[in-house]
Structure 1
Amino acid sequence: MTKNLRLRFALACGAVFLLAGAVLIGVVAFVVRQTLEPRAGLGRPAYMRVSNGIYPPYTIGYSVAQERAEQVRRVYQAETVKNVLVVGAIALLPGAGLAALLGWREARWTLRPIRSVTASARRIAQSHDLTERIAHDGPDDEVKELADIVDTVLGRLARSFDGQRRFVANASHELRTPLTINRTLVDVAVRRADAGEDVKRLGESLLLVNARHERLIDGLLALAEGEQKVLDRRPFDLTDVAEHVLDAAAEEAEAAQVAVHRLLDPAPTAGEPVLVERLVQNLVENAIRHNHPGGEVWVSTRRRADRVELVVANTGLPVPPYEIETIFEPFRRLHGDRLRSERGSGLGLSIVRAVAYAHDGVVTATPREEGGLTLAVELPCVEPS
């Protein structure tokens, strides 16, 4: 951005110099032209006088000489004005280039506060830490006013996000206790010896609803935790996390008649292993549950330059490209299966994106031509010390 501003500033300096120089040359040419115009009352020129100081009579020769003198004057005037314009134009172009060069150099000094503010804003954006501030220390000018406004906005955003996370966490904790009590009471009622078939069926239905609410609350807690920046990072291998998750999901995959293929290469990274495990778990569960009997799931990890990558692909129903971005929104599900509680609470991919974001990573989704999705998560590569 600053380079574009410097270029525009330099071009503006060159253009101003060019315009001012053109006006100045025009004024000089006009003054020279007016100076070379004949003036009344100055008498005839010396070459029109005779040696004894008496003017010749107004003869034909005299008229011819006078006309010839006027022609010479006009030619001299035209040539002089032309020389002023040509020489001025020749000098004007290098001058404009020099002015643009000086403007480019001066713009670097002028735009230094903007570069400082931009660097601070970029650092805050990359760190995802809204507690940081630009804190521009400079004269009370437009740049400082802009930096102070940005700091004010960051402060309001930080308070808003912190309040939202606290609300979700507190509400989730408060709701966990009654749900636990409900599950215990329903389980006791179902297991009673005198419980009839209707009571048992009702109890099983209530336990399913209760389990779904518990998953929803766990998802909200994970989402609230995942949206916080991970500051205490521990090195670990993403491959170990993926193997642990796949081993734990093997029973569910077998029950769903889904074949899981794994290609796990070393992928060293750093962060909070528990959160990353939840990320991998959500991706694997999503691939298994949004599949069909006889379907397949491919899980791979690898290292790519300064990044590590986790890719989870699965078969399933075709996914329209316009729905790709919406699947990362909370409580959004594909193909209208909002009421199917066995497929989760609709927070799985939202948690994946939040955890990846907290670890300075990115997650992308791509529809497969044969049906299903390919989800890729990239995290920073951190070699163990």
Structure 2
Amino acid sequence: MSMRLRFALACAGVFFVIGTLAVTAVFFVARTTLQYRASVFTPQNAFWSTEPEDYELARSFGLAVHATYRTDVLDNLRNAGVLAVLGGTGLAFGAGWRTAGMVLIPLRNVTDTARRIVQNHDLSERIGYKGSRDEIKELTDSYDVMLDRLARSFDGQRRFVANASHELRTPLTINRTLVDVAVRRPDATEDVKRLGESLLLVNARHERLIDGLLALTEGERAVLDRRPFDLTDVAEHVLDQAAAEAAEREVTMHRLLDPAPTAGEAVLVERLVQNLVENAIRHNHPKGEVWVTTRRRADRVELVVANTGLQVPPYEIETIFEPFRRLHGDRLRSDRGSGLGLSIVRVITEAHGGTVTATPRDEGGLTITVELPVHAEGGSV
């Protein structure tokens, strides 16, 4: 029940109670006032005859006339009172509804602005309410202050992650070069080569972690430059690139790619599809399968990536999109990524105004569905 409806019902209820009490009070006062009194209705000194029989006859006639008159008056008062209360209650409801609508206009504007901020992921926008100094003004000012603090906090966090990632990438690149040179030296022993290969694997894992942090930071920003592209083209490109790894791991890939026009940052969406496909291949078993589907449904386009693999408990579904969370507690296998893949998928999807869901397959593995807004020809997302 909306606040406007509650206010209108409250106005109608208050009027109904007060009107009912008022009509009831008037009814009882009138009934008491109209009680028969002989001195008023049949005064003995007003009769032409002093005979007792004539007086009693007149008194009986007066009682009958008064009873009829009293009944009619009270019935009319009751009926008119009920109609007045019901009609006034309806008018009070209408007046309350209209008044609440006028009072809630500023609050509705605040709500629309807040909803737009959430949908666009744009913490730079402010409500900027210019009304008089009242409760709504205080609320909107507090909301703007909160947005300022959140924007500064998120910007600081993103800058820190980006700067730290860039600073860490340089020494890792140097380490990789030095280890690679040491391993390729003619006089390098087998122990040195094995150690070098292990160090290169660790170094590659750290590089993937840093790349994932950078992608996570970039994906959290709102996508302002939305350019149209077909999700099918992106999926085909990613699948062609992943074919070699899938063949190496003996994973069969099936593709059912129908046109799926959307708009946004194509590079980010490519990273999204790449993470899903890589997860489907790496979290699989030999002779496993991967199904990739793109399609359009009404005002949305869908990307569905399903794979075979280990059974996934339903209670772990909500945690797989959190950073550094891995299924089955696997934190040692560096070839399976850094645990940021699905987190990146989620932030990129939300930055494009979409949704991502995961469901476990009965046969094992996952089915992950990404929905993005459709881009109609000549229209907008």
Length-normalised TM-score, structure 1: 0.90
Query: Counterpart in 2 of 1:45?
Result: 42
| Cα distance in 2 between the residues matched to 1:171 and 1:186 | 23
User: Structure 2: how far apart are the matches of 1:121 and 1:232?
Assistant: 21
1:305 aligned residue: 298
In the alignment, structure 1 residue 291 sits paired with structure 2 residue 284: yes
The Cα shift of 1:383 comes to: 4.0
Deviation sequence 1:317-368 (CA, Å, 0-9, x none): 1111111110000000111112111100000000011111111111111111
Matched, 1:125 2:93: no
Distance 1:247 1:263, change over 3 A: same
Out of 241, 257, 267, which is 2:260 matched to?
267
1: CA distance between counterparts of 2:97 and 2:255? 56
In the alignment, what sits opposite 2:9?
11
Does the 8 A contact of 1:236 with 1:384 survive in 2? no
Q: Shift of the alpha carbon at 1:227?
A: 0.6
Cross-structure match for 1:171: 164
Instruction: Give SS of 2:224's match.
Output: coil
C-alpha displacement at 1:25, in angstroms?
0.8
Question: Matches of 2:89 and 2:181 in 1, distance apart?
Answer: 91
| One-letter identity of the residue aligned with 1:209 | V
Of the structure 1 ranges 256-265 and 297-306, higher mean CA displacement relative to structure 2 is found in 297-306
Q: Of 307, 310, 316, which residue of structure 1 is paired with 2:309?
A: 316
Contact 1:136–1:144 (CA<8 Å) still a contact in 2? yes
Q: Which residue of 2 aligns with 1:201?
A: 194
Matched-pair contact (CA < 8 Å) for 2:288–2:307: yes
Instruction: Supply the AA of the counterpart residue of 1:172.
Output: S
Whole-angstrom distance in 1 between the partners of 2:273 and 2:243 = 14
Matched residues, percent identical?
A: 69
Segments of 4+ moved more than 3 angstroms: 37-40, 42-50, 59-83
Tell me the amino acid that sits aligned with residue 46 of structure 1: P
Q: CA deviation at 1:67?
A: 8.0
2:248 is matched with which residue: 241, 255, 260?
A: 255
The unaligned stretches of length 5 or more in structure 2 are: none
5+ residue gaps in structure 1?
A: none
Distance 2:7 2:47 in 1: 64
Residue 278 in 1 paired to residue 271 in 2? yes
Deviation at 1:63, TM superposition (A): 7.5
The answer to whether the 8 Å contact 2:42/2:62 transfers is: no
Deviation at residue 106 of structure 1 after TM alignment: 2.8
* Partner residue in 1 for 2:94: 101
Work out whether residues 36 and 63 of structure 2, in 8 Å CA contact, stay in contact via their aligned partners in 1.
no
Q: Is the 8 A contact 1:363 1:376 kept in 2?
A: yes
Deviation at 1:104, TM superposition (A): 2.1
Q: What letter matches 2:8 in structure 1?
A: A
CA distance in 2, matches of 1:264, 1:43: 100
- The structure-2 alpha-carbon separation of the partners of 1:38 and 1:343, relative to structure 1 and needing over 3 Å to count, comes to same
Displacement of 1:188: 2.1
Structure 1 residue 73: deviation in Å?
Answer: 5.2
Specify the alignment match of 1:30 in structure 2: 28
Q: Map 1:83-232 to 2 at 5 A.
A: 83-232=76-225
Instruction: Kindly indicate whether the alpha-carbon contact (under 8 Å) linking 1:267 and 1:303 is maintained by their aligned counterparts in 2.
Output: yes
Task: Return the alpha-carbon distance in structure 1 between the equivalents of residues 243 and 167 of structure 2.
Answer: 33
> SS where residue 382 of structure 1 aligns?
coil
What is the CA–CA distance in structure 2 between the aligned matches of 1:311 and 1:43, rounded to whole Å?
94
Report the CA distance between 1:85 and its aligned residue. 2.2
- The separation in 1 between residues aligned to 2:41 and 2:296, in whole angstroms, is 97
Moved more, 337-346 or 5-14: 5-14
What letter is aligned with 1:317? L
- Quote the Cα distance in structure 2 between the aligned partners of 1:30 and 1:132: 62
Three-state SS of the structure 2 residue aligned to 1:51 is: coil
Provide the residue aligned with 2:328 in structure 1.
Answer: 335
CA displacement 1:203-224 (0-9 Å, x = unmatched): 2111111111111000000000
| Aligned-pair CA distance for 1:38 | 6.4
SS in 1 for 2:320: helix
- Residue of structure 2 in register with 1:366 after alignment: 359
User: Which moved further from structure 2: 79-88 or 351-360?
Assistant: 79-88
Q: For 1:369, what is the secondary structure of its paired residue?
A: coil
Aligned letter for 2:185? Answer: R
Deviation, 1:44, is: 8.2
Q: Distance in 2 between matches of 1:14 and 1:47?
A: 51
Equivalent position of 1:377 in the other structure: 370
Letter in 2 for 1:319: V
Give me the whole-angstrom Cα distance separating, in 2, the residues matched to 1:117 and 1:172: 38
CA distance in 1, matches of 2:66, 2:12: 37
Rounded Cα–Cα distance in structure 1 between residues aligned with 2:298 and 2:84:
54
The two structures, once aligned, show a CA RMSD in angstroms of 2.4
